[in-house]
RNA sequence: GCUCACGUGGCGGAAUUGGCAGACGCGUACGGCUCAGGACCGUAUGGGGCAACCCGUGGAGGUUCGAGUCCUCUCGUGAGCACCA
């Protein structure tokens, strides 16, 4: 039976044995500056995984994909003489643990502890070379003390537009510092999720539903903590430039931040003192503005609406407020809105235009008000047609396109100030014209909103903030950490009041002051964990200065040299972490302006049916089962052999068998089974020189594996190692020296097998401590190369030619070739193309 | 709807700057070794054709002596954004 089947090689004994040895010897510990083992001559390399959320389900085959890639890099870099920082930890605060706790009645701290034990043992079983001395957990008070400390730095600083930097709040000269702090409290319409009993960040809402759980989310005004990430919008876009990230991720971040250039224009209101500012990217269409629209929630609505329009306006506003985001987008096709009764004056032509409210204008973007130019904006056109508003063409399209609904660039018409100008020039001219008259100015707008930073939950970092007389005040550094109170009942209250409100004693900070009841979102802990890894036990500072400088060193803006993880964090974690990092950098705590220099996204692994793995489909592959049957090395190797790291690819158990067979062949290359059924060193192993062809394949393998690891092309590196093994499989004698070199190459991929075989060959030291081999180009060069002979671009024959052959000799060889001369006999030759060492192409008339 | 990425055998995938398409692995077929094998070893394996040869990288054009690779259009798949003025 299959369970009784003999193992192709004894991985079940080898693997635990070496994992134990690595642990005991602490072989993968990276010494910090100041430690005894620290060697200042070694260069550093920081290779990081996105640390997991330790869920109850345990490790998924998707996790080890990126982890194996980083482990190969880490092991490789160590052998190249680098001091390698390769840490692992747990992002353990957050909703799932709490949701589970509510269901099971078990405290999230207990669940978290159990899950961490499980995750850690699973990771150890795969043989990853993490420096476990640096393990961190975001829910440890020793860790979140510093998360809270960073919050204090953010709270106690402001963004100075003059220096384009965050600065301590004491440098602010204005009257009310609370207006400019990078952390502030605001009454804002937020994403309220009744099911989860908390508000969510925009980034956590997908299609009007919560990202966690998929529950409906509604808009509701609430008092919340916000972080002023918008202050960094420009730098977050500009400084992407110096990073080695996939173009797609850079684009995603740029789109999310959503920079657009245009102008702000001020409209007077007829018979009213108030003015309305609008943002537009097309100030050149100002003459075509035939009406205005305010967001229903716009604060001016109350002031300008006329007596007789009040009832419809009120009714419309109430209806919009009740709509969830989902409804608002679902109903997007059908425009709605009502007239306020008020009129604005178009500053360009003094024309009176009606002011409407409609929910297609969003309060959160721009100024929450627009000039509507139906002739040259799709949405305005649709609205104008529905409500019979005038449409006036002011841009002439270049071709024969229909001018109504044309949104591209053309030539301005019906616009006295800019008539005849190309759109780009018209924009410049009209903006200057408005600026001169004090009616408007050039402006840049961002889609990015400030980060909603508070959650009405239990399982998160409490804010280091107290309230007194209705005002917030930050705690002193010395009062950290603020540990959450023990609670019997941590369920959401359902009213929007945080569960911490139930801890009556804890709330009371002093006679007059009470604690902030919200907690931070899950992202807080992961915003800076890569810094803590540099110095995880430091209790004086969030990271020691020497440690930070050492691990961040390098000739580029980023701190971590290589960061591998999933695309799902393209705009969440990766944007938030950059923001925090920049604040800390501005305040002088860090030596580099960016957290992650090189970013690589591993592709999703699909089930055997090429569908996304899911419980309901029943196509989930459990890493434990694979390791049980084929061993950790086969599991690692298969994860890398499947295909390019960044590509989405389906799992295949047959494929695992394939790499497992390869590993068994490696084993049998050096080991044979004796009469008693015990494995012993093969007698074919001899201390002999390599044959020329063997030497060539060895050096080709060193070259290919080295280059492929550098470019993260692990699948082709493995192919090359298979070619190597195939070349030696039937050799009568196996040169020991070639095997030793090969085991070093194999080590990053299959560390257990290579360690065991290395030990069997009895050389000194551990294979992981060997220097990485180098190849000699000389051994790769042949005396002759095969070239292709073509006629009219079609391959007609192949032949060997000296690598020293001249162009003329190439051509002569082709002409004298039997097949070729046959084909060109009596024909006129138009041209002969020679690519040395590659081909000769004879082109006939 | 907009933006981006990707389409190569029965399957996963290889292919510096445009230069032998299909490396390596899976699967399949045949053979060997075996009491046996879903083990191991070997040979073959893009399609068509007895063959010479012809066809072939989603489809249609183009540039070039030469295109999987570059350009245009088109179809399909995946991801992201989605009233952003």
Mean pLDDT across chain A, nearest whole number? 91
Does the pLDDT of residue A639 top 80, yes or no?
Answer: yes
Give the pLDDT of residue A327: 64
- Answer for A648: CB within 7 Å of strand B: yes
pLDDT above 90: residue A204: no
Which tokens in the block code for residue A29? 């510990």
**The most confident of A460-469, A776-785, A787-796, by mean pLDDT:** A460-469
Q: How far is the CA of A782 from the C1' of B15 (A)?
A: 21
Q: What is the largest CA-CA distance in chain A?
A: 110
Helix (H) / strand (E) element for A803: namely none
Lookup: tokens for A84: 């390698």
Distance CA A837, CA A787 (A): 6
Distance CA A347 to C1' B66 in A: 63
* List of A residues 247-266 with CB within 7 A of strand B: 247-248, 251-252, 255-256, 258, 260, 262
Q: What is the dihedral of CA A351, A355, A360, A361, to 10 degrees?
A: 80
Rounded distance in angstroms from the CA atom of residue A694 to the C1' atom of nucleotide B54 = 39
Task: Write the pLDDT tens digit of every residue in A382-391.
Answer: 999 999 999 9
Which pLDDT score is estimated for A9?
Answer: 92
- What pLDDT shows up at residue A3? 37
Q: Which helix (H) or strand (E) holds A147?
A: helix A141-155
Measure A800 CA to B53 C1' (Å): 24
Among A167-171, A498-502, A738-742, the least confident range: A498-502
Q: Nucleic chain B: which protein residues 553-612 of A have CB below 7 A from it? A: 567-568, 570-571
Highest mean pLDDT among A189-198, A210-219, A297-306: A297-306
Q: How many CB atoms lie within 10 A of CB A818?
A: 9
pLDDT of residue A318: 87
> How many CA atoms, within 13 angstroms, populate the side-chain half-sphere of residue A387?
23
A791 vs A578, residue with greater confidence: A578
Contact A260, A282 (CB under 8 A): no
SS3 content of chain A, % helix, strand, coil (to 5): 40, 20, 40
Task: Tell me the per-residue pLDDT of A434-478, one tens digit each, with 9 for 90 and over.
Answer: 999 999 999 999 999 999 999 888 999 999 999 999 999 999 999
A window 715-734: Cβ near strand B (< 7 A) = 715-716, 718-719, 722-723, 726, 729-730
Indicate yes or no: strand B within 7 A of the C-beta of A499: no
Looking at residue A330, what is its pLDDT?
A: 61
Q: What is the mean pLDDT of residues A671-700?
A: 88
- Taking only the tens place, the pLDDT of each residue in A8-32 is 899 999 999 999 999 999 999 999 9
Q: What is the pLDDT, as a whole number, of residue A1?
A: 32
Buried/exposed A745-755: b ≥16 CB within 10 Å, e otherwise = bbbbbbbbbbb
Per-residue pLDDT at A566 exceeds 70: yes
Cα A794 to Cα A831, A835, A841, A842, A843: the distances in Å are 14, 15, 8, 9, 10
Strand B-contacting residues in A 695-714, CB cut-off 7 angstroms: 713
pLDDT exceeds cutoff 60 at A224: yes
- Which nt sits closest to A841, CA to C1'? B65
Give Cα A677 to chain centroid, integer Å.
51
Measure, in angstroms, how far nucleotide B48 C1' is from residue A842 CA. 28
Q: Is the CB of A285 under 7 A from strand B?
A: no
Give the confidence band of A676 by pLDDT, cuts at 50, 70, 90: confident
| Gap between the terminal Cα atoms of chain A | 69
Give the pLDDT confidence score for residue A174 in this predicted structure: 92
Give the pair of three-digit tokens for residue A337: 């809105």
Cβ partners under 8 Å of residue A585, min gap 6: A592, A593
Residue A798 Cβ under 7 A from any strand B atom: yes
**Residue A839 or A627, more confident:** A627
Task: Estimate in Å the CA A772 to C1' B40 gap, whole number.
Answer: 33
Q: Is A619 within 7 A of strand B by CB distance?
A: no
The nucleotide whose C1' lies nearest the CA of A202 is B81
- What is the structure's pLDDT at A324? 61
- pLDDT confidence of A597, banded at 50, 70, 90? very high
DSSP A450-487: -EE--BS-SSSPBPSEEEETTEEEEPPGGG---PPPP-
Residues 6+ apart with CB under 8 A from A335: A358, A360, A379, A382, A383, A386
Q: Which of residues 351-370 of A touch strand B (CB under 7 A)?
A: 359-362, 365-366, 368, 370
% of chain A surpassing 70 pLDDT: 98
Express as a percent the part of chain A with pLDDT over 90.
71
pTM (2 d.p.): 0.94
Q: What is the mean pLDDT of residues A557-575?
A: 93
CB A657 within 7 Å, strand B = yes
Higher pLDDT pick, A334 / A295:
A295
Please tell me which residue lies nearest to nucleotide B85, judged from CA to C1'.
Answer: A280
Closest residue to B6 (CA, C1′): A647
Which nucleotide is the nearest neighbour of A382, by CA and C1'? B83
CB A243 within 8 A of CB A235: no
């Amino acid at each position: 039976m299959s369970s009784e089947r003999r193992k192709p090689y004894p991985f079940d004994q080898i693997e635990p044995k070496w994992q134990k040895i690595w642990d005991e010897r602490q072989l993968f510990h990276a010494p910090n500056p100041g430690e005894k083992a620290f060697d200042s001559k070694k260069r550093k390399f920081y290779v990081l995984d996105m640390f997991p959320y330790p869920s109850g389900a345990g490790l998924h085959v998707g996790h080890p994909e990126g982890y194996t890639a980083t482990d190969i890099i880490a092991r490789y870099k160590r052998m190249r003489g680098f001091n390698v920082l390769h840490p692992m930890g747990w992002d353990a605060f957050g909703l799932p643990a709490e949701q589970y706790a509510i269901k099971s009645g078990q405290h999230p701290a207990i669940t978290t502890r159990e899950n961490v034990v499980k995750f850690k043992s699973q990771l150890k079983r795969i043989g990853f070379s993490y420096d476990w001395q640096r393990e961190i957990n975001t829910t440890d008070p020793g860790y979140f003390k510093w998360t809270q400390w960073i919050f204090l730095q953010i709270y106690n600083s402001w963004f100075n537009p003059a220096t384009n930097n965050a600065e301590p709040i004491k440098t602010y000269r204005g009257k009310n510092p609370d207006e400019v702090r990078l952390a502030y409290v605001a009454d804002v319409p937020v994403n309220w999720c009744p099911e989860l009993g908390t508000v969510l960040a925009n980034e956590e809402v997908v299609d009007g539903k919560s990202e966690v759980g998929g529950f409906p989310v509604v808009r509701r005004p609430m008092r919340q903590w916000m972080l002023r990430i918008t202050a960094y919008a420009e730098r977050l876009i500009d400084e992407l430039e110096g990073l080695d990230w996939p173009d797609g991720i850079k684009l995603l971040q740029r789109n999310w931040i959503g920079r657009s250039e245009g102008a702000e224009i001020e409209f007077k209101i007829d018979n009213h003192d108030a003015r309305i500012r609008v943002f537009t990217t097309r100030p050149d269409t100002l003459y075509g503005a035939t009406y205005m629209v305010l967001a229903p929630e716009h604060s001016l609505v109350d002031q300008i609406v006329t007596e007789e329009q009040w009832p419809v306006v009120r009714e419309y506003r109430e209806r919009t407020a009740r709509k969830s985001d989902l409804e608002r987008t679902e109903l997007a096709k059908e425009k709605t809105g009502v007239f306020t009764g008020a009129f604005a004056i178009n500053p360009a032509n003094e024309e009176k235009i009606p002011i409407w409210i409609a929910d297609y204008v969003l309060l959160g973007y721009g100024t929450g008000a627009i000039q509507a130019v139906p002739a040259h904006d799709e949405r305005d056109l649709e609205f104008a047609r529905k409500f019979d508003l005038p449409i006036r063409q002011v841009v002439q399209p270049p071709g024969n396109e229909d001018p109504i609904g044309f949104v591209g660039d053309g030539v301005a018409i019906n616009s006295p100030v800019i008539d005849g100008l190309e759109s780009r020039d018209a924009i410049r001219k009209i903006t200057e014209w408005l600026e001169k008259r004090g009616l408007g100015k050039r402006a840049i707008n961002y889609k990015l909103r400030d980060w909603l930073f508070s959650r009405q939950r239990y399982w998160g970092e409490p804010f280091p903030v107290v309230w007194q007389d209705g005002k917030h005040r930050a705690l002193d550094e010395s009062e950290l950490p603020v540990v959450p109170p023990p609670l019997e009942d941590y369920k959401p209250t359902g009213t929007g009041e945080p569960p911490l409100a139930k801890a009556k004693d804890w709330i009371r900070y002093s006679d007059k002051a009470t604690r902030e009841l919200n907690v931070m979102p899950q992202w807080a802990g992961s915003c800076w964990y890569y810094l803590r890894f540099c110095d995880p036990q430091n209790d004086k500072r969030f990271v020691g200065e020497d440690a930070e400088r050492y691990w961040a060193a390098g000739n580029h803006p980023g701190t971590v040299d290589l960061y591998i993880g999933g695309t799902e964090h393209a705009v969440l974690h990766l944007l938030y972490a950059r923001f925090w990092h920049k604040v800390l950098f501005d305040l002088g705590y860090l030596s580099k302006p960016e957290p992650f220099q090189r970013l690589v996204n591993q592709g999703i692994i699909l089930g055997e049916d090429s569908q996304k793995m899911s419980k309901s489909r029943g196509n989930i592959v459990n890493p434990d089962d694979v390791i049980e049957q084929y061993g950790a090395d086969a599991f690692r190797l298969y994860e890398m052999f499947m295909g390019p790291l960044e590509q989405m690819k389906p799992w295949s158990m047959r494929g695992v068998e394939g790499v497992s067979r390869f590993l068994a062949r490696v084993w049998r290359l050096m080991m044979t089974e004796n009469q008693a059924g015990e494995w012993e060193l093969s007698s074919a192993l001899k201390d002999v020189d390599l044959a020329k062809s063997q030497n060539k394949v060895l050096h080709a393998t060193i070259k290919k594996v080295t280059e492929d690891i550098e470019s993260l092309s692990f699948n082709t590196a493995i192919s090359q190692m298979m070619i190597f093994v195939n070349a030696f499989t039937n050799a009568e004698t196996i040169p020991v020296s070639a095997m030793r070199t090969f085991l070093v190459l194999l080590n990053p991929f299959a560390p257990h097998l290579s360690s065991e075989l290395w030990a069997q060959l009895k050389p000194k030291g551990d294979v992981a401590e060997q220097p990485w081999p180098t190849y000699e180009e000389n051994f790769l060069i042949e005396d002759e190369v095969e070239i292709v002979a073509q006629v009219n671009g079609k391959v007609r024959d192949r032949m060997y030619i000296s690598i020293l052959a001249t162009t003329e000799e190439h051509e002569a060889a082709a002409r004298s070739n039997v097949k070729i001369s046959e084909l060109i006999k009596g024909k006129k030759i138009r041209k002969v193309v020679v690519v040395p060492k590659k081909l000769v192409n004879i082109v006939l008339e």
